[in-house]
Amino acid sequence: MKSYRLEHDCIGEREVPCECYYGIQTLRAAENYKISNIPISHYPQLIDSLAYIKMAAAQANCELGLLEEDKSKHITLACEKILEGKYYDQFVVDVIQGGAGTSTNMCANEVIANLGLEGMGHRCGEYEFLHPNIDVNMSQSTNDVYPTAMRITLIAKIRQLIEAMAFLKKSFEKKAEEFKDIIKMGRTQLQDAVPMTLGQEFSVYAVMLGEDMMRLQETTDLVREINMGATAIGTGLNAHPEYADLVTEKLSNLLGINLVKAENLVEATQDTGAYVQLSGVLKRVAVKVSKICNDLRLMSSGPRCGFNEINLPPMAPGSSIMPGKVNPVIPEVVNQACFYVVGADMTVTMACGAGQLELNVMEPVIAHSLFSSLMYLHNAFETLATRCIDGITANEDVCRNYVRNSIGLVTALNPYIGYEKSTEVAHEALASGTSVYDIVLAKGYMKKEDLDDILSPENMIKPRYFHKKD
């Protein structure tokens, strides 16, 4: 038989299972919000962020003479227990919730209060000795706690994503070096263009990631600005005049992060522009990496009837009916992760625009969208590097034969025989299947030694001085 304790809130009384460290408000939230079936504990960094905030607040309130030293000590000890990862299962509220995150904040308040009570020798629910709202939530509101927890979590997840991008970038750089001497045909609009090296192709992907790593790093500066001390709408009601600065300092010290108190707390409590910008950067990253995966699938297509320029490492049988078929499953799964991020950006955009007046109540779905996007990209990039890029091999002969047989070589002849003659050669090559090289020689447009020099693929992969042949 389960045993229960009786708790009450402004709505009424409820029985809460005695083994639960959360209380009545968390219980109501768990019943009210069955939306995603993903609890907030799915993001442990969010729970840790809440614990650090409550610890910093308790210490600041104690230093200001507002909270008894014994209560501050037991709140701190309770937060330390949460940071050990032992009580994540008590954070049962759905990530998608009404109330602007109040249920998340109250879940933290209740769990910390009951852990603190246990440490003080009392039973869970004996809030007259340590109260979730009066003591744990002192000088706070959901409206400064929740966005601050969001931002701390985002900083950690952005850092992790940048590390994953650096890891993937290094994989592309290694392949760029490995393939630097392999000549292939460049393509525009999926049609033959001019020669390049496979190394150049892969080096571009590394550069693209490097650019986006810088853009992502810039967003960290935006989310370092927090509104602790704002309380309900930014006016600081019920907070000590020195509290905002002090709690920001203590929180920065606990985390080892240089957090910055917002210059205008009223503005910071309602403005979600940083989330829009971060989401936009994540979309940019996702779009570019999805493009890279599309390239990999094209270059490896076939193997007999496609481009077949590169081989992706075989990771799984590709068909339940076609023997021997192997699909590019890693680029495919990364594509799908990127599509999710693009869709999540729309959710963030709509949610950020849906806040009215002094508060944006849609922050829970903003948080979930950003957290999940950061997580998906992080996991996708590590997977792409280790299970695909590192194992790619090149089909050098295939690449070189494409170059030899391509009419794209005629572009290099423009400065020497003119655009009209080059067009004529291209049309004839396309119609007859004869090589550009053989047609130019047959028509006497150029001497063999000059043609060999101009149409050498190695001479067409970088700028060179133009010397018109006689």
Mean of the pLDDT values across residues 373-381?
98
Mean pLDDT of the chain: 94
Residue 464, pLDDT > 70, answer no
Reported as a single tens digit per residue, the pLDDT across 64-116 is 999 999 999 999 999 999 999 989 999 999 999 999 999 999 999 999 999 99
Residue 31, pLDDT > 80, answer yes
What are the residue ranges spanned by the domains of the chain? 4-138, 144-219+264-396, 407-460
Can you tell me whether residue 466 is helix, strand or coil? coil
In percent, the amount of the chain with pLDDT more than 70 equals 98
Q: To 10 degrees, what angle do helices 102-120 and 44-63 make? A: 60
- Mean pLDDT is lowest, of 188-192, 379-383, 449-453, for 449-453
Mean of the pLDDT values across residues 217-233?
95
Reported as a single tens digit per residue, the pLDDT across 382-392 is 999 999 999 99
Active-site residue, from 141, 300, 319, 406:
319
Residue 465, pLDDT > 70, answer no
The pLDDT value given to residue 319: 78
Residues 6+ apart with CB under 8 A from 286: 337, 338, 339, 341, 342, 373, 377
Residue 187, pLDDT > 70, answer yes
The burial class, CB within 10 Å (0-12 / 13-18 / 19+), for 115 is buried
Encoded amino acid at 338, one letter: C
Tokens of 436: 């550009």
CA distance 178 to 468: 35
The pLDDT value given to residue 150: 97
End-to-end alpha carbon distance in the chain: 101
The pLDDT value given to residue 324: 82
Q: What's the pLDDT band for 322 if we cut at 50, 70, 90?
A: confident
Residue 470, pLDDT > 70, answer no
For domain 144-219+264-396, which architecture applies? Up-down Bundle (1.20)
More confident residue, 358 or 454: 358
pTM, entire model: 0.92
CA distance 202 to 394: 12
Residue 226, pLDDT > 90, answer yes
The CATH number that domain 4-138 falls under is 1.10.275.10
Residue 450, pLDDT > 80, answer yes
407-460 adopts what CATH topology?
Answer: Ribonucleotide Reductase Protein R1; domain 1 (1.10.40)
Look up 36 and say whether it is catalytic: no
Closest C-alpha among 219, 196, 202 to residue 384: 202
Q: What's the pLDDT band for 325 if we cut at 50, 70, 90?
A: confident
Closest C-alpha among 185, 175, 382 to residue 289: 382
Closest C-alpha among 221, 208, 139, 205 to residue 173: 205
Q: CB neighbours (10 Å) of residue 194?
A: 18
**Structure-derived torsion over alpha carbons of residues 452, 458, 461, 463, reported in degrees to the nearest 10:** -70
The pLDDT value given to residue 140: 98
Q: What's the pLDDT band for 467 if we cut at 50, 70, 90?
A: low
Q: What's the pLDDT band for 468 if we cut at 50, 70, 90?
A: low
